[in-house]
A and B are shown apart, each in its own frame.
Chain A
Amino acid sequence: MSDKIPITVLTGYLGAGKTTLLNRILTEPHGKKYAVIVNEFGEIGIDNELVVGADEEVFEMNNGCICCTVRGDLIRILDGLMKRKGKFDAIIVETTGLADPAPVAQTFFMDQDVSDAARLDAVVTVADAKWLSERLKDAPEAKSQIAFADVIILNKIDLVSPAELEEVEGRIRAINPYAKLHRTQNCAVPISEVLDRNAFDLDRILDIEPDFLEQGHHHHHDEEMQSISVKIDGEVDPERFMPWISNLTQVEGANILRCKGIVAFPGEPKRFVFQGVHMILDGDVQGDWKPGQKRTSKVVFIGRDLNEKAIREEFLACAV
């Protein structure tokens, strides 16, 4: 791995327990030093850490891409932090409860200086088991935060009944079946489950099987936000697949929050792996198909009002 500084983005609706998780991370005896970028001072009970207040300034990139927004303040803070390189091991960015995680994530792909110095490790979303179902109805931000997550901390499970827990988990899974989900009280989760996840590393997108397959299927549907997964038992034609995925993310990019996939190209010994955030697509051939391993192709999309039928048919049409 490179010596790029890993950055964890911590999201979650107001009152879900972000600060509890943050304090937990900072107080555990891990011997590491974190720089923490927060949106509000005063809530963190730790004073020996490098804590920076951010303004959450979201800037549109002047490049004709309508959903390409970045966090201007983050670019600026990281520029400053790089002058103190070596004084900390990782950076944690806490967003406000009402923030859309996309501009934060996009900053790591859109800004060369940032991507040269740091890498996005994972988006961690803290959700309130008691109130999340309500928030998913009335707060679009809460939905985006769930859809965007690589890790979901379903917190305050002591405040709900087993049936309610089942219900809220089903709602989460209807939006995002791929994130790693932890049920917690007081955000009690091993730090290793939150930090150093390499969720955006193409090398690590090896297994995109939904987490829920291990835990039984839920039957919930979200009318607005959904995940789509399409699999081909074989190879795809790069001449058809590449223009398709590129065009889809350009045209539907505003609605696609996250996408990832592993596909097999004929004659290519390595897997083609890609992942994306809105219109930004990052892909490469990575890691050999192992001898005897079945060469299959799979793509997943999480987004808003996606045309599942069209996406399914168009991807299947890329099959060799």
Chain B
Amino acid sequence: MTAGPASSLTQHVLAVDTNAHVTAIGWLKGTAAFGLGDGTIVLARDGETQRVEAHPGAGVLVGLSDGARFLTGGDDGRVAVTHADGSSGTLAETKGAWIDSLAISKTGAFAYGAGKRAIAIDDKGREKILELASAPRGLAFAPKGYRLAIAHYNGATLWFPNVEAKPELLDWKGSHLDIVWSPDARFIVTSMQENALHGWRLVPDKGNMRMSGYPSKTRSVSWSSDGKWLATSGAEAAILWPFDSKEGPMGKQPRECGVRPAKVTRVAFHPNTFVLAVGYEDGCILLIRMVDAAELLVRQALKGSGVTAMEWDAGGKRLAFGCEDGQAGLLTLPT
């Protein structure tokens, strides 16, 4: 191992001009889909781009991909679907409600929040609606089985949409924002209004886990491919919580990496190696190899160009990123 200035991958980045705030990115096999604040989706493939008016006159608030479809929720109250060939359609429509929460499962189901309802539609198109006491925020499907986790005020709800049983409430005071399942489905973690994460150990004991100490809200989290680490944004470094034991991170110190004088806004673990992509509010992007903390520069800091979205393709060969000022890019890892 040699010490020295960070090596650079910047010459392997291809710029994509999206021209509007990048809200979300999804990969459709070899095509990167950028969901934008002006309602369009930019599809980028082999140096060419195509614009799709998925939410005309509105804005993309949230977007997710299952590899074949890019689902976006907008302030036009619609859930739109866009494919790699540029075809686009409407999956769901509400009156007046903004769609800023979405979940998508590998089996073809999807869910969205509208007003105080969570709506789940399974792979056969059967729609189920759950009324909640307060508006649902984050949504996430369990890694296996048709079960939806819903973050909301004062806790989270676990719901089997196709089962009559009463949904299970995980209570914890405060406003819960984003929500994720651990890859082995043993843990649920939410980000909170109070600059902290909260977790529940689902097995064996429903124990609570509180992960605090952040100077700002955490709005991006990412699991390592082996499920042993949860990387999080919200501090002037990526904060990694250890989930390698059945107790979770309780009583353990988190690991910090990519310490810089700028807040981390996005984190994305490589899909099959122990490498973390870290995006900052000042526009900088680093790749960090966790075994030795070696850093590679992907993007220089750029004023007014904070990183707002970052996504690896399924094979881990390319990283797509987007920024608040409408700049975006595709990194192809050198082989």
Collect the chain B residues with CB atoms within 8 Å of residue A41's CB. 96
- Asked whether A80 and B75 contact (CB < 8 A) given A41-B96, A112-B217, the answer is yes
Q: Does B174 interact with chain A (Cβ within 8 Å)? A: yes
Collect the chain B residues with CB atoms within 8 Å of residue A309's CB. none
Collect the chain B residues with CB atoms within 8 Å of residue A55's CB. 115-116, 135
Which residue of chain A is the closest to B217 with respect to CB atoms? A113
Collect the chain A residues with CB atoms within 8 Å of residue B100's CB. 76, 79-80
- Asked if residues A72 and B153 are in contact (CB atoms below 8 Å), the reply is yes
Binds B, one of A16-24, A57-65, A183-191, A272-280: A57-65
Collect the chain A residues with CB atoms within 8 Å of residue B134's CB. 57, 72
Collect the chain A residues with CB atoms within 8 Å of residue B270's CB. none
Q: State the Cβ distance, B299 to closest chain A Cβ, in Å.
A: 20
Q: Does B83 interact with chain A (Cβ within 8 Å)? A: no
Interface positions, chain B 156-200, Cβ under 8 Å from A, are 173-175, 192-195
- Asked whether A84 and B194 contact (CB < 8 A) given A57-B135, A59-B175, the answer is no
- Asked if residues A84 and B135 are in contact (CB atoms below 8 Å), the reply is no
Q: Does A85 interact with chain B (Cβ within 8 Å)? A: yes
- Asked whether A53 and B97 contact (CB < 8 A) given A84-B37, A85-B21, the answer is yes
Collect the chain B residues with CB atoms within 8 Å of residue A73's CB. 135
Collect the chain A residues with CB atoms within 8 Å of residue B194's CB. 61-63
- Asked if residues B135 and A72 are in contact (CB atoms below 8 Å), the reply is yes
Interface residue from B61, B137, B174, B217 paired with A83 (Cβ < 8 Å)? B61
Q: Does B26 interact with chain A (Cβ within 8 Å)? A: no
Most buried by A among B61, B174, B175, B324: B175
- Asked if residues A72 and B175 are in contact (CB atoms below 8 Å), the reply is yes
Q: Does A52 interact with chain B (Cβ within 8 Å)? A: yes
Q: Does A43 interact with chain B (Cβ within 8 Å)? A: no
Interface of B is mostly: loop
Interface bracket on A: 20 to 34
Q: State the Cβ distance, A3 to closest chain B Cβ, in Å.
A: 10
How many angstroms between the C-alpha atoms of A78 and B300 in the bound complex? 28
Collect the chain A residues with CB atoms within 8 Å of residue B59's CB. 80, 83-84
Count B interface residues, CB 8 Å: 28
- Asked if residues A53 and B135 are in contact (CB atoms below 8 Å), the reply is no
- Asked if residues A112 and B216 are in contact (CB atoms below 8 Å), the reply is yes
Interface positions, chain B 192-218, Cβ under 8 Å from A, are 192-195, 216-217
How many angstroms between the C-alpha atoms of A58 and B125 in the bound complex? 35
Q: Does A111 interact with chain B (Cβ within 8 Å)? A: yes
Q: State the Cβ distance, B11 to closest chain A Cβ, in Å.
A: 30
Binary contact readout B101-119 vs A (1 if CB under 8 angstroms, 0 otherwise): 0000000000000011000
Which residue of chain B is the closest to A110 with respect to CB atoms? B193
How many angstroms between the C-alpha atoms of A130 and B100 in the bound complex? 42
- Asked if residues A83 and B37 are in contact (CB atoms below 8 Å), the reply is yes
Interface positions, chain B 132-169, Cβ under 8 Å from A, are 134-135, 137, 153
Q: Does A77 interact with chain B (Cβ within 8 Å)? A: yes
Q: Does A75 interact with chain B (Cβ within 8 Å)? A: yes
Binary contact readout B221-241 vs A (1 if CB under 8 angstroms, 0 otherwise): 000000000000000000000
Interface residue from A52, A57, A72 paired with B98 (Cβ < 8 Å)? A52
How many angstroms between the C-alpha atoms of A111 and B216 in the bound complex? 9
Binary contact readout A60-99 vs B (1 if CB under 8 angstroms, 0 otherwise): 1111000000101101110110111100000000000000
Q: State the Cβ distance, A280 to closest chain B Cβ, in Å.
A: 15
Q: Does B23 interact with chain A (Cβ within 8 Å)? A: yes
- Asked if residues B38 and A84 are in contact (CB atoms below 8 Å), the reply is yes
Could you list 5 examples of A-B contacts with CB < 8 Å?
A52-B98, A57-B134, A59-B193, A62-B175, A112-B216
Q: A: which residues have CB within 8 A of B?
A: 41, 52-53, 55, 57, 59-63, 70, 72-73, 75-77, 79-80, 82-85, 111-113
Q: B: which residues have CB within 8 A of A?
A: 21, 23, 37-38, 59-61, 75, 96-98, 100, 115-116, 134-135, 137, 153, 173-175, 192-195, 216-217, 324
